[in-house]
Structure 1
């Protein structure tokens, strides 16, 4: 299953419905948040996995707690919200408040709800990574390539889906009508993760690519 399948399939829709019911925000906002948060989390983990100790710790966590079963039982997302908060603390560290603030601004989800919703989404994203790890028989040393491949495949697929329901959602929630956007919000988001500063320069700055590019173009 590709990353875009996670975002647009039953798992993404079901967890969005859970969050909609629990927090009283629109399902489309949650889907948009998932579409931004998933590549962001994967990118941070990819960067961390360049350190051998971090890669081993991530490998152990995936083996122990994230076998992908949550993808078939998304009720776990709510039950594992506290665990999700701990996951985000480790991934983002001292940058977590800034990450939450930026995501709140871009999705329109209030700052008091963005953290708890991200905490629901984090175990789902980790479960997806864990399932991909199992299916590809990857150990600690191969996690960086696995995570990079997930993003690369999503980028290739997003370029082929210029017009799609997910892009419509992202455009409406994140402001895809911005003249500096490419008109393909998902591709802008994933491209900013993969391209960093160079991607931002190509897009002229200020568009959807800056949503994630700002986290990496320090």
Structure 2
């Protein structure tokens, strides 16, 4: 199964990068760089939430009732003329649920690592979140996933599989659970900018020429 970063290299991913660049007024390299850090963090946060029965049930319910993947069928229409405000509001709701009180910290850390202002990073996350949910929704249907175990396996696979996924998840959790003493930047640097060999760092070391 393709990982979340492989998704960015797909035709759909390239359309997402182009659309986010257009939406934020940034270059495709800048948009791609932020997305390549943000998507694993969001996916890791979803996986962490789904580790509890209540969290898994809530995520499965959202995927079943609202995020069926239809949003991915017309990305050209989504980004044409600007992303609809309702999509951003949906994204804000998703972010509030999966990141909770860590959201400002995540946005600031991504801002410092990418050089993009925090407000623009927030917009990128709001646009990306519904698309990730749509992708997950489509995958759960294609693979007939209906329980928390299957959902956990899906999320783990997209984060890199068994051992790699565990290593990546520990980095993501340390990032999300940072106490705000500044070490969060070291966490995300190691996770997303090649500070660790293999896993997310290895994948991103050559992604977008970084």
User: What TM-score bracket applies, with the shorter chain setting the length?
Assistant: 0.7 to 0.9
Q: What does residue range 42-191 of structure 1 map to in structure 2 within 5 Å? A: 42-74=43-75, 75-76=77-78, 78-79=83-84, 80-142=87-149, 143-153=151-161
Aligned residues: 175
For residues 91 and 207 of structure 1, the distance between their equivalents in structure 2, rounded to whole angstroms, comes to 17
For residues 73 and 195 of structure 1, the distance between their equivalents in structure 2, rounded to whole angstroms, comes to 35
For residues 154 and 9 of structure 1, the distance between their equivalents in structure 2, rounded to whole angstroms, comes to 23
Judge which range, 132-141 or 71-80, deviates more: 71-80
Q: After TM superposition, where is structure 1 displaced by more than 6 Å over at least 4 residues in a row?
A: none
1:50 match: secondary structure: coil
**Cα 1:6–1:44, aligned 2, differ >3 Å: closer, same or farther?**
same
Name structure 2 gaps, 5 residues minimum.
176-185, 196-210
Deviation at 1:23, TM superposition (A): 1.8
Q: Using CA pairs below 8 Å that are at least 6 residues apart, which structure has the higher relative contact order? A: 2
For residues 53 and 154 of structure 1, the distance between their equivalents in structure 2, rounded to whole angstroms, comes to 23
Judge which range, 92-101 or 51-60, deviates more: 51-60
From 180, 187, 209, give the equivalent of 2:190. 209
Name structure 1 gaps, 5 residues minimum.
157-189, 214-218
Deviation at 1:61, TM superposition (A): 0.3
For residues 38 and 90 of structure 1, the distance between their equivalents in structure 2, rounded to whole angstroms, comes to 15
2:68 match: secondary structure: coil
2:156 match: secondary structure: helix
Deviation at 1:70, TM superposition (A): 2.1
Deviation at 1:85, TM superposition (A): 1.0
- TM-score, length of structure 2 as denominator length: 0.72
Q: Is the 8 A contact 1:23 1:113 kept in 2?
A: yes
CA-based RMSD: 2.9
- TM-score, length of structure 1 as denominator length: 0.70
